[in-house]
């Protein structure tokens, strides 16, 4: 398939400094803004930059993609160590828009049609990033439920438990705070005639089903979070109990020693 028929999607960073980026691109390049998306004419192709850190390239070769990403770097927050990417091909001339075997067939070459499709492609790529984050968190903490099942405790110190709870909370909150990105974009409230195009991509990439799986995995993290919270409370209460026991023991010895001296 010719390079000119390639769609390349990339989750590049957590999010862009969007207003500053739009101002910069608008001053130097041919660009338009649609709510949270910047449409940019780049080299021989088109690029759609989403404020939540995803870039969708249409007809842009690897060298030119790299050139643009270098320009976006200074407007990027938290560039990802593990970049999430996907590729599709497309052609124009089909009777109706469709997607099969990662090939998108279009019946016209309108910018808004590309934008509508890009919304679904970008969401899928961002969702893949969330999936990667959650699965890594589950894998990294899998030993904790096993330790609790085998020994009745996690074998972590109170400090280690607190740090891990903080890590889990950050992982979960980063996703939950951005969860609305996976809803139907507001763009389609203003352009309802394009909603079917978004639906084609969303259904093909199983965005709804993947969101449900992601939600269940987040519940697993929440359950682990609660389990660790209970263990931390138990450790704290056990510490208090031992402090009380030692204080009582000390008081008994003091009393005995005092009475003994008084008797002598």
The ranges assigned to domains in the chain are: 132-263
Q: Look up the pTM and report it.
A: 0.81
pLDDT at 1: 39
Q: Are 84 and 125 in contact (CB under 8 A)?
A: yes
Length of the chain: 264
CA pair distance 125, 239, nearest whole angstrom: 47
pLDDT at 84: 95
CA pair distance 126, 84, nearest whole angstrom: 8
- Is pLDDT above 70 for 36? yes
CA pair distance 251, 57, nearest whole angstrom: 75
pLDDT at 174: 73
Q: At what angle do helices 207-263 and 143-151 cross, to 10 degrees?
A: 40
pLDDT at 160: 74
Quick one: what percent of the chain has pLDDT higher than 70? 88
Question: Quick one: residue 36, left, alpha or beta (phi over 0 = left, psi -120 to 50 = alpha)?
Answer: alpha
pLDDT at 14: 92
pLDDT at 247: 77
């Amino acid at each position: 398939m010719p390079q000119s028929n390639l769609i390349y999607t990339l989750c590049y960073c957590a999010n862009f400094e969007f207003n500053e980026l739009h101002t910069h691109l608008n001053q130097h390049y041919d660009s338009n803004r649609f709510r949270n998306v910047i449409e940019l004419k780049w080299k021989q192709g088109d690029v759609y930059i989403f404020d939540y850190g995803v870039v969708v390239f249409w007809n842009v070769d690897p060298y030119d993609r790299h050139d643009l990403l270098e320009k976006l770097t200074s407007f990027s927050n938290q560039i990802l160590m593990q970049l999430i990417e996907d590729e599709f091909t497309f052609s124009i001339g089909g009777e109706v828009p469709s997607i099969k075997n990662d090939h998108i067939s279009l019946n016209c070459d309108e910018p808004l049609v590309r934008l509508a499709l890009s919304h679904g492609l970008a969401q899928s790529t961002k969702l893949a990033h969330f999936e990667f984050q959650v699965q890594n968190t589950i894998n990294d903490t899998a030993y904790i439920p096993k330790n609790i099942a085998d020994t009745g405790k996690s074998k972590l110190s109170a400090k280690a438990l607190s740090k891990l709870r903080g890590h889990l909370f950050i992982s979960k909150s980063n996703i939950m705070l951005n969860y609305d990105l996976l809803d139907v974009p507001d763009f389609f409230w203003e352009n309802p005639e394009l909603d079917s195009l978004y639906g084609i991509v969303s259904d093909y990439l199983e965005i709804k089903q993947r969101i449900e799986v992601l939600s269940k995995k987040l519940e697993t993290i929440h359950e682990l979070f609660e389990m660790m919270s209970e263990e931390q409370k138990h450790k704290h209460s056990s510490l208090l109990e031992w402090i009380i026991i030692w204080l009582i023991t000390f008081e008994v010895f003091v009393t005995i020693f005092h009475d003994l001296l008084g008797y002598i």
